[in-house]
Each structure stands twice: as C-alpha cells, then as structure tokens.
Structure 1
Amino acid sequence: MLRKYLFLGCIGLSASVLATPDKVVFSADNYQQQVKTIASDAFEGRAPMSAGEEKTIQYLVQELKALGVQPGYFGDFVQKVPMAGIAASQDMQLKMGPLTFKPGKDFVSRTQQVASRTELKSSAVVFVGYGIDAPEYSWNDYQGLDVKGKTLLMLVNDPGYATQDPEVFRGNAMTYYGRWTYKYEEAIRRGAAGVFIVHETGAAGYPWSVVESGATGTKFTLVDDNDNAGELEAMGWIQTDSTRALFTQLGLDFDELKAAAAQPGFKAVDLGIHADLQTRHWHQMGESRNVIGLIPGTSRADEYVVLSAHWDGFGKKVGVKGDNIFNAAVDNATGVAGVLELARMLKQRKQPLQRSVLLAFFTAEETGLLGAQAFAAQPPVPTKNMVALMNIDSMNMTGESDYVIQYGQGLQELEDWLADAAVGQNRHIKPDANPQNGLFFRSDHFALAKQGVPGLLFMDLGDSDPDYIANRYHKPSDEFLDSWQYGGVRQDLELIYTLTEKLGNSDAWPAWKVGAEFKPARDADLATR
C-alpha cells in the first residue's frame, strides 16, 4: 500500500520520519498538492512570456523561500532569458531548379533571425548526405566542401540508423549527430544560407504532421546582440516524395544517393541548381526567466549536483473549441513538483551534503530547450564545477514499477550509478525502447551535456500509460487526475535522492565513456580544475 507522510508540524506525524537523523521520506500529500497547483487553470498553461509565466515564477520563488532554499543565480532566484517569438508567413514558395514547392504540403521553413524578411536568392543547392562532421566516428560529409551562402539538402538521423549496423555510429540508436538541431548548427558554423532536412517518419521519430504544425506557429528563440543575424536565412524540412521528384527531374536517383550517403567516403553532390525563397516574419521581443535555487554544501561547497525540470507548457491557444488551456500536468508539472519535493527532502537532512545542490527550473523547453541553453551559456558556477545533472521531464503516475528507464546507452559512467541505485530498490534497468528517436538529446540536460556535464534523464512519456501519448500529450487534456497513483513517483524520487546523496558526499567525477560525443568538452573542462 502506498504510504503517505505529512509535514513535521502536522498532527498525526508518521513515526518513520524520526527513525534516523538523516532518514528523510517522500510525502505523497505534498507532492500531490504541488502538481495540482502548478497544473491548475490558474497558471494558464505556463507559456513563456505570458501572465501564466508570471504566476509560475512567483510561485516557484515563494516555494523555494518557504523551504529555506537560497537564491542560486548570482544572489537572485531568477535568471533573465531574453527571447524573441517569431512567426513565418505561410504565403511563401520554395523554388529549386525546375520545381516549385508549396508550404505545408511539400516543405516548411522558418528562421531564428529577428528580421521582417529573410531570403534565399539564387543560392546553389548541394546534397550533403547526413550533414555530419564527427571526428570520433571518422566521418565528414563536408570534407573539402565550401558551403558558404549555399542551401543544403540533408538526411535526417545518422548512418547508423540507415545501415542498422552496430559498428556504424551507434547502430539503431540515434547519436547527437542525428538530431536536426546539430545539423542546423553545423551548417551555420560553415556559413550556409539555408538547410532543408529530408523528412522520413521512421528516421525522424514523428510524422510529417508534427513537423508541419511545429513550423506554422510562433517559435521562440534566444537573441544575441546582433539580432541573430548569423542564423540561417531558412531552416526547414522537405518531404521525401518532393525531394525524390526533384532528383528525378535532375536525372538523379534519390534512393541510390541516399544509400551512398550511408557509406564511408560519401562525397557531397552539387545539384547544379539554385534555391529561391522569400519569407515574411512577425516577431515579438521579450524576456522569460529560469528559476534557480541553491542548497549549499559543506566541505566541497564549490562542487555542484544539479537537479532540474522545465516549468513551461503551451499556455492558452486561440481558436481551440472548448478547453483551450494546455495545463501540461504530466509534462511537466509532475517534474517541477518532483524537484520541489527533492528540495524539501534535502532540506530535512540533519547533516547537509558535502557538495552543493543547484535546483534549476528552466523556461522554454518545449520550444527548443532555450532556458537550459541560456543557463549553459551563462551558468551561475563554471560547468567544470558541475559534477552531474539529473533532469525530470515527466513522471510515472500509474503506480510502482520494477524497472527504471535508461535513456542513452554506453555513453557515461552515470549509467552505472543509476543501475546500482535501481538494484538497491529491487528494480532493473529498462533500455529505451526506441533509441532511434534520440530522446536523450531532446530534453534540458542535453544543453549541459554539450558543455560536457554528464546528465541523466528521468522521463515517463507514455511508457507506463500508452493512452497518454495517444490522447493527452501536448493537448488540453493533459490535466491533473484524481486517479493518479504515487508509488512510481515515490520510487523515482527516492532513487534520484539516493543518487544525489551519493554524488553529494563523494569525491567522484563521473565521466563520459570513450567515444561519447561530449567527452572532449568534459576532458577540457576538468583539465582546468
């Protein structure tokens, strides 16, 4: 039976709370109340730069203060995150050589430039295979290629998924290089003007409808001092059939070139055509906020374990019939409440941990991990002082389980720490059932991983409740439910607490394993300690 505990000051205190000086326990009552509050209509879906954000930030700061948590961002609880909301007009047309493509049906495109108009004008089109430069895998699709000012066509995912060969990249499991975010970033570093990723449902992990709906609304982006002028003029996706039709018109076989691109030594193909695209944009400048708390350590106070969750949802949407508030209860009020409950448990300790704990509540995860990126770019402490990060992005609300889901495999020593902690609960590690979808690279810990900080993702998006993905995920129906059971939450939070305790009282620095994409950044960081 699920045990429920009350605050120390409440009548009916459970004797187990006082069993040992540092024996702290999960409180289902506290956790339930936190989720119910954060996911309520009063918070208006918690969209960045909205009235719902203001209420959320005030609530989180209030709760951290009530727990006795200190400000964690240069003496403040809040990190300001300058952002812009950008929407692209859908009256655009993309011309590539002999063909003209229609928005939505054939392609989608947007930009992160804060500009009223962007343009591809007679931009040479090059097929660059997977658009990957990965020294650790001895792979470079850009070898000897100058792509400045050009428009690049590239494939989604990586050659490991294409070949299903475990000796190529990581086989079926997506790597960092398979993510569309990397592909855009690499193209920007090389001065490309535009990028269109060829969409395939299996390789991407989602259908075209997800791509289309995600590109047609307002998208948020971080803003630099030059209004993001260095970003791509056009960053988008193009349908496989549309790409195949283009190649056929050019006398090329798309499927043959796709197969060739999955083999070592592939050479990019200049298609001998040009791309033209004019896009009008509307933009709104603004500011969102991360909330950062600190629980100071003792003898190793300048070393930090980070616990995080994103607070944002999709807010209220105009034109939705009936309930138009996207309460984002499972994703991710459950994670926010989880970090608050962990903070309460840590503050109950008689003896603080040797290392400090940073509590991070990030904004704009749903629109590109923006809050986490801002934190990684301007952290309150150097990343070389961050021991590890544990990120919660939804929790199991259906009761106890005998397993812990592990996202990413063979990447970092933290996986071994996780396995040991699971055994201590009589549970086992369950590998991600769909590693080709790259979920390890799609939540906030990834922004810190790119800076070298090892991180674990705790997420239950439908694994314990398949109906959730089908009917509630990113919909107004993702609401607090009285039917929820908290045994699984208790298990996972106690596991995260155990990991935090072990890391917090250790002198260990869990490393990335040989071949992991983020090992060089960590090695360089730790070399300066």
Structure 2
Amino acid sequence: MFAFPTKSWAALALTLGISSAAMAADPEFDKQQLRSHIKTLASDQYGGRGPLTQGETLSIDYIAKEFAKLGLKPGNGDRYLQPVPLAKVTADQAMTLTLGDLTLTNGSEFTARTQQITPRIELKDSPMVFVGYGINAPEYHWNDYAGLDVKGKTVVMLVNDPGFATQDPAHFKGNAMTYYGRWTYKYEEAARQGAAAALIIHQTDAAGYAWGVVENSNTGSKYTLVDANNNADELPVMGWLHQSAAQKLFKQAKLDMDALADAAAQPGFKAVPLPGKANLRFDNSTRMAESHNVLGLLPGGETPEEVVMIHAHWDHLGTNESDGHIYNGAIDNATGVAGVIELARVLSEQSRKHPFKRSILFSSFTAEETGLIGASHFAAHPTVPNSQIVAFLNIDGMNVDNALDYILRYGDGVSELEGYLQDAAASQGRKVKPDPRPQAGLLYRSDHFAMAKVGVPGLLFMSLGDNDPDYIPHRYHKPADDYNPDWSLEGMQQDLSLMAIIAARLANNGDWPKWLEESEFKKRRAQDGRQ
C-alpha cells in the first residue's frame, strides 16, 4: 500500500476547510488492485482492446462492473455506457502509390487511408505540389496556401511546424509543437483547401516517433465518426511518406529536399509544383457499428451539476489482421484505466466520509488511438453540459517503475490548472519538470484535446518513456507493450496520490480554472461564461 503523504492530505483538508476528523484516515492506493487491473486489461484474451471487437466487449464490461462495484452511479442517465456510432474502415493493403516515375511500396515507403465511407478511393493523374508545412495560421501571419489552388491536387508537406525547424522561440513556439504541426490539422486544412490527397513527410525527430509507429497506426483497420454525408468532406487520401521515399521524389524532380525544407521554415515561402502525377487506388471494406464510452458518476453534495472529470481511454491498436500480432497496450493505456478505477475507489471511499461539493465523473472513452473519436463524440454529445465541466484530468500512460522527485507538465502558460499541478507536486516534495519532448506535440495527442476544443481546460498525465528510454523506440505502439510482473508500480501510486489531491481540490473549492493564453479554447470558454 502507498498512502497519501500525510502533509499533502492534511494541507488539503486545511485548504478546503474540512475538519481533520473528517479526513483523518489517509486514503490508500492498492498496488495489488492496480496490478490486477493492468494484467487483465492487457491480457491476450482482450486482444489489444480494439474498438468493435470482442476486446471492446470485455473492456467496457470490465470497467462498467468495476464502477458499479464501487458504488458509482451510471454516468449516462441510467447507463454506464454511452454509444458512439462509428465506422470501421479497412483499406485493402495491396496498393501501390506512383509519383511520376516513382513506384512506392505500401507500409515500408508510404501509408494511405481514408475516412470517407466509400468502397473505392482512386487518385488518378493528380498534380503534385510541395506546400512546405501545409499551414494556414493567421495569428502567426503564415499561409502556405496563399494564392494557391490545390483543388484535386496532391499536396506534399513536412511534419511539425516552422518553429521546430528554426528552434526560434519567437517563431511559432520554437521547439514546442503547436497544433499546426499535428498531422490531424494538416489533413483538415488540406481538405478545406480542396486537395485530393495529402502526403506528410515523416522525420523521426520532427514527428516525435519512428516510422514504425506510422506504419502500425495506419496500415490496419481505422475507425471514424460518420456524418450525414458519409464523410464526403473529409480528405480522400490521408497519407504519409517515409523520409527516404520523399528524398527519391525530390531527386526525381531535380530538387534539393533539404534546401527546400529550410526555405519552407522561413516567412514568405512559396509552394513548389512537382513534376509528374500521383496515382493510387485502393478498395475499402466498411463496417458500421456502435462502440462505447464508459461513464461512472460520484454525485456531489452541494453543487452536483458542476463536474470534475477523471479520464483514461480504454482502447489500443487491437490485433493485426495480417500477422496476428496482439498490441496489448499495457502502459498505453491499461495503466491509465487501472488508475482511473483506483482513483474512483479511493475518492468514493473518501466521499462517504465527507462528500465532495461537486460531482466527479470518471470516464473511459473509445477510439483515442484513431484520432480522439470517443472524446470527440462526448464533446459533441456530453452527458452533462460542457459549460458545467470544471476540468478534465486525463491519464494516458503511467509510470510503472519507481517513484520520482518530479512530475511532467505538458504545456506552459496554457491554463490555471498548471498552478494546481505545481501546488500538488510541492505538497509531495516534488518539482514540476517541463515536457522533455515538446516537439512531439503531446498536448494535442490525447483525449483532453477534444475537450479543449469545446472550452474545457485539462491536464495531461503521461509517462511514456521519460524514465524508461527503451519504451518509445521498442514498445510504444508495438506488440512489446506487455504487462511485466516486475514493475514496482510505485510511480503509479505516487502520481495517483497527486491526481487525487488536484481532483479533491477542484471538487470542493468552487473555482473555475481559466485559460491563460489566447486561443480558440479560451474564446469558447468565455462564451460559456467561465472565462
């Protein structure tokens, strides 16, 4: 067992004006319970927890039963589950991409998929153009599409944003990726511009992960929400190019790829047409079905309509349909789900002694790995109004090893929740350490970001290899992300204690943490009267 540090819980009680008698017994996080949850969720029986598989049925049943066993109320009316209508789209991998005279091999040199609900995608004799970073950002006075008509064309672009390339903190955000550097944004903007295809050039440093992550994440079945037009407005071809394949493309065009990349990072860059045409055809099989988010509610005693959310996505990459490899996702994110269940146990036990003023909603969403799909559905169809959600605490991979003298902070000067993190860490005698890989854009890569888009501020708790350098290159999004009985789990206990301090404070103090930097998130929150 690992208890809250006594000074932390006592200080919290004093801050909240709660009698020491009411909070005399320090809540404890049970290492064996954590171990059992992780081992079960990351077992081969669950098949990698792919949405719309038997692994989903097992996962959501497990989480819902744990919530019910802890006495949580259903979080969606009288149900623990929130249906998420989506499509499972599987592209035939026997595809070949030709770029001019260059023929590329699927998987090793490129990937391609679509979110359109259609039996066939055909890119035929599409003109190609290099559009730098593929960014249109008025607040940075930047538009790679200025004066350019790319309707029906294939746009080729660099990953990340110009700030990373220049390392100038006055240029975008320097080394720290902005949302404009994320692949999701690049595809969205290419679709708005009317492009037929977007090919993002992968570079390991700029992307924050190796090519293997791209290949594993884009060559199997993918999931998407479906609109009334069967996603006809989505980008037809969402592609990646291996860096070596991109170099061949530019060499074919008699262009210096490195020199063009340098130029693309400077203001005033003009897009460069590429000779030759792009051709690609692949068939899709589509299965329409319902996936599910899981929601359990701990009602508040005074202002139950105001809600603090504690969250971890339950899904992972499932089982590879071609080679049978199971992607069990033990750290990403069976540890997070285990943490949410254990936080629910500890906080509900504390609530029985002294109810929290606000409600706490424990959630576990589907299809995060495919693009925050379950979170996006919840944000669009919340079970409580978004204007009533105080904050969103999101766990996406936990420290399974020994306790540390620091906690990671993702983002800097983003919201007042950073102060909550600072205070909770100090109460544990820990320091706050800035994101060691801001170029990876982790602030935009997990479920809290879907909630940020509707104005809800959040904190990301993620430990993906910060104290284990082997994890990212050898286990992240790979079959090797398996449960290990040798894990000490002391880091999990330590971080869950910190999260409980933050959650309890938010659930009792009546504050509405504000966005600090100017953004669409801040504007949205202001519309709700919470900024």
Scaled by the length of structure 1, the TM-score of the pair is 0.90
The one-character-per-residue Cα deviations of 1:282-332 (angstroms, maximum 9, x if unpaired) are: 2222221110111222333222211100112333445658xx544332222
The one-character-per-residue Cα deviations of 1:126-178 (angstroms, maximum 9, x if unpaired) are: 32211112233222222333333322111110000010101111111111110
Following the alignment from structure 2 to structure 1, what is the Cα–Cα distance between the partners of residues 94 and 65?
Answer: 46
1:285 to 285, 288, 294: 288
Matched letter for residue 344 of structure 1? R
The one-character-per-residue Cα deviations of 1:448-479 (angstroms, maximum 9, x if unpaired) are: 12222211111112223334445544444434
2:143 to 133, 140, 144: 140
2:28 to 21, 26, 29: 26
Q: How far did 1:413 drift?
A: 1.9
Larger deviation, residues 158-167 vs 299-308? 299-308
| Secondary structure in structure 2 of the residue aligned to 1:466 | coil
Residue 429 of structure 1 aligns with which residue? 432
Matching of residues 233-272 of structure 1 within 5 Å: 233-271=236-274
Unaligned runs of 5+ in 1: 5-17
Residue 332 of structure 2 aligns with which residue? 331
Q: For the Cα contact (< 8 Å) 1:400–1:487, is it kept in 2? A: yes
Structure 1's 297 and 238: CA in aligned 2 closer, same or farther, altered over 3 A? same
Q: How far did 1:67 drift?
A: 1.4
Q: How far did 1:217 drift?
A: 1.6
Residue 126 of structure 1 aligns with which residue? 129
Following the alignment from structure 2 to structure 1, what is the Cα–Cα distance between the partners of residues 179 and 408?
Answer: 19
Following the alignment from structure 2 to structure 1, what is the Cα–Cα distance between the partners of residues 467 and 101?
Answer: 49
Following the alignment from structure 2 to structure 1, what is the Cα–Cα distance between the partners of residues 490 and 376?
Answer: 33
1:229 to 224, 229, 232: 232
Matching of residues 407-486 of structure 1 within 5 Å: 407-486=410-489
2:512 to 509, 512, 517: 509
Following the alignment from structure 2 to structure 1, what is the Cα–Cα distance between the partners of residues 504 and 181?
Answer: 34
Structure 1's 89 and 476: CA in aligned 2 closer, same or farther, altered over 3 A? closer
Following the alignment from structure 2 to structure 1, what is the Cα–Cα distance between the partners of residues 3 and 505?
Answer: 24
Residue 307 of structure 1 aligns with which residue? 310
Following the alignment from structure 2 to structure 1, what is the Cα–Cα distance between the partners of residues 329 and 422?
Answer: 30
In the alignment, is residue 276 of structure 1 matched against residue 279 of structure 2?
yes
Residue 341 of structure 1 aligns with which residue? 342
| Secondary structure in structure 1 of the residue aligned to 2:279 | strand
Q: For the Cα contact (< 8 Å) 1:83–1:286, is it kept in 2? A: yes
Q: How far did 1:98 drift?
A: 4.7
| Secondary structure in structure 2 of the residue aligned to 1:228 | coil
Structure 1's 223 and 24: CA in aligned 2 closer, same or farther, altered over 3 A? farther
Q: For the Cα contact (< 8 Å) 2:216–2:477, is it kept in 1? A: no
Residue 298 of structure 1 aligns with which residue? 301
Larger deviation, residues 41-50 vs 488-497? 41-50
| Secondary structure in structure 2 of the residue aligned to 1:523 | helix
Q: For the Cα contact (< 8 Å) 2:2–2:28, is it kept in 1? A: no
Matched letter for residue 26 of structure 1? E
Matched letter for residue 22 of structure 2? P
1:215 to 218, 222, 226: 218
Q: How far did 1:417 drift?
A: 1.5
Following the alignment from structure 2 to structure 1, what is the Cα–Cα distance between the partners of residues 104 and 483?
Answer: 43
Following the alignment from structure 2 to structure 1, what is the Cα–Cα distance between the partners of residues 148 and 158?
Answer: 17
Q: For the Cα contact (< 8 Å) 1:2–1:486, is it kept in 2? A: no
Following the alignment from structure 1 to structure 2, what is the Cα–Cα distance between the partners of residues 427 and 525?
Answer: 35
Q: How far did 1:220 drift?
A: 1.8
Q: How far did 1:496 drift?
A: 0.8
In the alignment, is residue 396 of structure 1 matched against residue 373 of structure 2?
no
Unaligned runs of 5+ in 2: 5-18
1:112 to 96, 112, 115: 115
Following the alignment from structure 2 to structure 1, what is the Cα–Cα distance between the partners of residues 172 and 443?
Answer: 16
Q: How far did 1:422 drift?
A: 0.4
| Secondary structure in structure 2 of the residue aligned to 1:384 | helix
In the alignment, is residue 170 of structure 1 matched against residue 173 of structure 2?
yes
Q: For the Cα contact (< 8 Å) 1:326–1:474, is it kept in 2? A: yes
Structure 1's 522 and 140: CA in aligned 2 closer, same or farther, altered over 3 A? farther
Q: How far did 1:196 drift?
A: 0.7
Q: How far did 1:79 drift?
A: 1.0
Following the alignment from structure 1 to structure 2, what is the Cα–Cα distance between the partners of residues 123 and 470?
Answer: 35
Residue 190 of structure 1 aligns with which residue? 193
Q: For the Cα contact (< 8 Å) 1:61–1:291, is it kept in 2? A: yes
Q: For the Cα contact (< 8 Å) 1:176–1:517, is it kept in 2? A: no
Following the alignment from structure 2 to structure 1, what is the Cα–Cα distance between the partners of residues 486 and 109?
Answer: 43
Structure 1's 435 and 420: CA in aligned 2 closer, same or farther, altered over 3 A? same
Q: How far did 1:517 drift?
A: 5.9
1:66 to 53, 56, 69: 69
| Secondary structure in structure 1 of the residue aligned to 2:415 | coil
Following the alignment from structure 2 to structure 1, what is the Cα–Cα distance between the partners of residues 473 and 249?
Answer: 35
Q: How far did 1:80 drift?
A: 1.0
Following the alignment from structure 1 to structure 2, what is the Cα–Cα distance between the partners of residues 3 and 64?
Answer: 22
Q: How far did 1:381 drift?
A: 2.0
Matching of residues 491-502 of structure 1 within 5 Å: 491-502=494-505
Following the alignment from structure 1 to structure 2, what is the Cα–Cα distance between the partners of residues 476 and 254?
Answer: 34
1:54 to 47, 54, 57: 57
Matching of residues 141-156 of structure 1 within 5 Å: 141-156=144-159
In the alignment, is residue 160 of structure 1 matched against residue 163 of structure 2?
yes
| Secondary structure in structure 2 of the residue aligned to 1:212 | helix
Following the alignment from structure 1 to structure 2, what is the Cα–Cα distance between the partners of residues 464 and 235?
Answer: 33
The one-character-per-residue Cα deviations of 1:368-411 (angstroms, maximum 9, x if unpaired) are: 22211221221112222221111111211212211101122232
Residue 361 of structure 1 aligns with which residue? 364
Matched letter for residue 242 of structure 2? Q
Larger deviation, residues 78-87 vs 159-168? 78-87
Scaled by the length of structure 2, the TM-score of the pair is 0.89
Residue 11 of structure 2 aligns with which residue? none
Matched letter for residue 348 of structure 2? K
Q: How far did 1:425 drift?
A: 0.6
Matched letter for residue 253 of structure 1? D
Q: For the Cα contact (< 8 Å) 2:217–2:317, is it kept in 1? A: no
Following the alignment from structure 2 to structure 1, what is the Cα–Cα distance between the partners of residues 103 and 330?
Answer: 42
Residue 96 of structure 1 aligns with which residue? 99
Following the alignment from structure 2 to structure 1, what is the Cα–Cα distance between the partners of residues 243 and 473?
Answer: 25
2:85 to 55, 62, 82: 82
The one-character-per-residue Cα deviations of 1:478-511 (angstroms, maximum 9, x if unpaired) are: 3433322233222211111111111112232222
Matched letter for residue 434 of structure 2? P
Q: How far did 1:34 drift?
A: 2.8
Residue 12 of structure 1 aligns with which residue? none
Cα RMSD (Å): 2.5
| Secondary structure in structure 1 of the residue aligned to 2:216 | helix
Q: For the Cα contact (< 8 Å) 1:412–1:516, is it kept in 2? A: no
